[in-house]
Structure 1
Amino acid sequence: MKIAQKAWLALLLASLLLAPASAYMGKQLARGPVDSFTLTDQSGENYTFGTDTEGVVVVTFMFTRCPDVCPVLTQKLVEVEAEMTEEERDDVTFLSISVDPEYDSPEALKEYSERMGASWPHLTGSTEELEPVWESFGLVVQRNVIDMHVMDYQPGEASVTVVDTNNNSSQHMFQYDGWDATAFAAEQAGWSLDLDAGMIIGINGTESPDDWAWYWQLNLWNTTSEAWDVSGVGMNDVDALEMPHIAWMRSDTNRSLLPQPDVEMASSVTVQWSNNSTEVVNIEQFTGYHITQGAL
């Protein structure tokens, strides 16, 4: 079945979303109608293009392991959606479709969309389901290019260049310390952090007492001994690229209760709560968001 409505491959500016075709920037390419297709969204539900879409459809292709352009595209679309009126939002549908189905499960897309603040459907499926979708949009997906793009990415060599309004540029290296790791984990998990003089004195409302009967203690995973060690330096002095797995626990509790981290993750933060239960937040791959926050 052919869908009468047209689909545009994003990125569009909010002021142009409802403009006639002649008003769009760039060259308009000849396109045919897009076939109906059904994929799985980040909630694990079926989503059918044509049935569940309305009005103008803004489509972007992405993958959650993408360290640079995908987070930027997603963030720009979030900004576009935020600037639209309620009436405009009723006439526009945003869609993100994965090009990395072997990795992008609904769970991975859910984590990505929530982290990016993107409320629209993020779709995935099997390679067999996605190939005709890619083809209908004129997209060529090369598995080896995606894998090499991720594998060649070295966070320790990453930098962010800022150009100001006077066209002066400055380059900032990505630095990932214990505070960055903790702050990213807290943002992802929804924890609150209380600081005093650069020290963490409270996590999610659990604060160390005034008499310092116990305090929040920073631990680092030692890959050689495969055990947790008490950090000999403060969190701002921990090189979390070299020591990417950290844990916070009350100083008066048993360190042996801390679980072993998943060393396949780019980074992880574990918190052992007062009742000895633990919560782990993993960062599977560093993204442009992490790089920007860690560099600026």
Structure 2
Amino acid sequence: MARSDRRRSTVRASVAAALAAVLLAGCGSGTTGSSGGGDDDDFTGSVVEPPFEVAATPLTDTEGEPFSLADDTDARLTLVFFGYTQCPDICPMVMQTLTSGLNRLSDEEREQVEVVFVTTDPATDSAGVLRDYLDRFDPAYVGVRSDLDTTATVAESVGVFVADGEELESGGYDLGSHGTYVIAVDGNDEAPMFWRQDTSAAQFSSDISALLGDA
């Protein structure tokens, strides 16, 4: 087995085990990681107990500066999504719903939340392409990129699997597989919660308000 194949097998096994633990935690009761919040049933998002420890590995933002999901996320709550700009359906849907949810927050709450989009297609998503894409949702959103191996390592730390993609004969692009979760990163550089792709704007808003109140 080639080195890259062994690596992908290891990543798949690690992520599968992590997500299994997350799903089990989401079915029970407890607290939202380090936030000390209430019962899991109070949230639409899935509570991670214990929370994921976010990798400090630096990526690069659209200004060409190093950006770590652990060291450079200074907001009380950072929402992270792994996707790509050529994604025809799920990525824009999740980003638009998340944006609508954030627009429901009070001005005070909104100022405490940062959004980071990590591209899983660095070959296509240059800094300029990524910046133009995010500006359609909110110019304040942070876009980051790196080589696929580095991106996969960071994604794995928060339970997201990223696979290689390939160009289709039709001219489209099939990324193969990538996570569709929005990950919450708190001030302790831990990820205590994630939301699935079918989360509504109202559900995002409710959960985010509760997390900010508990933090």
Residue 20 of structure 1: aligned partner: 37
Question: 1: distance between equivalents of 2:160 and 2:64?
Answer: 24
Kept in 1, the 8 Å contact 2:116–2:143? The answer is: yes
Identify the residue that residue 83 of structure 2 maps to in structure 1: 62
Structure 1 residue ranges (4+ consecutive) displaced by more than 6 angstroms after TM superposition: none
1:45 corresponds to which of 65, 76, 88: 65
Structure 1, unmatched stretches of 5+, are: 1-17, 154-296
Query: Residues 2-46 of structure 1, C-alpha deviation per residue, up to 9 Å, x if partnerless?
Result: xxxxxxxxxxxxxxxx99363211543443311213211223222
Question: Which has the higher Rg, Structure 1 or Structure 2?
Answer: 1
Sequence identity (%): 27
The whole-number CA distance in structure 2 between the counterparts of 1:29 and 1:120 is 25
Residue 119 of structure 2 corresponds to 98
| Distance (Å, rounded) in 1 between the aligned partners of 2:127 and 2:62 | 4
**Equivalent residue for 1:240?**
none
Measured in 1, the distance between the counterparts of 2:160 and 2:171 equals 22
1:123-182 deviations in Å (ceiling 9; x for gaps): 1111232121121122222223x645x8568xxxxxxxxxxxxxxxxxxxxxxxxxxxxx
Q: What secondary structure is seen at the aligned counterpart in 2 of 1:71?
A: helix
SS of residue matched to 2:155? helix
Equivalent-residue separation in structure 2 for 1:118 and 1:72 (angstroms):
17
Aligned pair 1:134/2:155, yes or no? yes
Letter in 2 for 1:52: D
Q: Which has the higher relative contact order, 1 or 2, with Cα contacts under 8 A spaced 6 or more apart? A: 2
- Structure 2 unmatched ranges of 5 or more: 1-34, 174-215
Q: Distance in 1 between matches of 2:57 and 2:110?
A: 23
One-letter code aligned to 1:85: S
Provide the secondary structure at the position in 2 that maps to 1:65.
coil
Indicate the SS of the match to 1:66: coil
Q: Deviations over 1:55-76 (max 9, x none)?
A: 1221111100101111111111
